Structure 1
Amino acid sequence: MTSPTASERRARLAEEQERARGCPRCAALVAHRTTVVFGAGDPDADLLLVAESPGPGEDRQGLPLVGGAGRLLTELLDGIGLRREEVYVTTALKCRPPDNRDPLPEELAHCRPYLHAQLELVRPKVVATLGSFATKLLRGDPAGIKEVHGRAEVRTIGPRTVRLLPLDHPSAALYARPAMDRLRADVARIPALLALPAPEQVAPVPTDAAPAPPAPAAEPDPVAGPEQLGLF
């Protein structure tokens, strides 16, 4: 089977976005949301950023990472020579949870196909998780952001093997100088990761399998073997 062309991948991503906009899977989220926040940016980006879920501003505008956190993200990307339009930004949950509560496991399960489709169709080399929730979810591990921030690993997430880089969430960095310093230092690692060859693609673990959690392969070993993640 031949790989889809860039234009075919863009068309399929647009189809997934339209499908998500009418998603009825989570009754509480459907009743509460203003709009579905699918994602935004370059559909051919080498860098994909994943946060937890939309907040009030994102829900109103239909775009991920807006407001002060979005402005900080844009500034940090500018600092490493990337424009916001050159990356792809999304969230693990596509609808704002009521009262900004944490996403429920069944809600994340319902949204999983959309994130997997984004990974498959954008084909990023590097995925940066923003904040503890997204980091724990995509790593399949309870370690918090303070423990693993800035430690790049090769991971298979659904259909795509990537270099995963945990980052503090920009909203947390706005109010805590230590988090801001960590975030700036960790974002500065992104260009070197993007300059590396894309990791070898590995067949994903079936979602009904239960492999033992893999040991993280921390940088500076940029060619550590891929780990399998069947948890998300």
Structure 2
Amino acid sequence: MNQNTQKPLVYGGTVSPYVRKVRVALAYKGIEFEDVEQTPFGAPSEFRELSPLSKIPVWKEGDFVLPDSSVILSYIEQRYPTPPLLPADPQPRAKALWYQEYGGSQLNYVTAGVFFERVVKPKVLNLDTDTKLVDRILEKALPRALDYLTKCLGDNEYMVGGMFSLADIALTTSFVNLNLAGVKVDAVRWPAYAAYVERTLTLPFYAPIVAQVPTWAKYQQD
């Protein structure tokens, strides 16, 4: 980055898988940026002007502002193309974008449900965990997702194109929150995917981002 250029700002919280996705991508590309801690709850009007939906993350580069992690990552990939986070070939590139969509929608819906019930409700909202809902997610929704992802991964090191890509970030960031909620991928039932998640989360540019998660966000079993 040009030394005369101000560092971009990334608004968000360390617990958010969407914010983490952007931060990991920036770390992978070696792009310097400044974190601005911001939760979407009770956000000031100044932040709502940056993010009309009051969601995180938000990217601010001078007067240029972008909300939404997928849009931010699309911009980053075009502005800072090396090292790439998307394959050059159209088909694996499209697959990576699909996995980003799946990771940010269906997969995050599953993992966030457990995290919300086990961590956010008791620790932030002072509400009881819906244990029946958690059980349903762990017994039905999560296995469906892991069966699908295991099939997609096969015996490959990375999800698409034989390279680390946006797909690998999108399909592992939610598991940080699932781990915080006291759930790990069953290495007996899904050995390949369990190893893939562990391997990806411990990559030298990824692990420091994971380590930023605050201790309050960890599930404590009674």
Give the TM-score normalised by structure 1. Answer: 0.31
Larger relative helix fraction: 2
TM-score normalised per structure 2: 0.31
Larger relative contact order (Cα-Cα within 8 Å, sequence gap ≥ 6): 2
Point out the structure with the larger strand share. 1
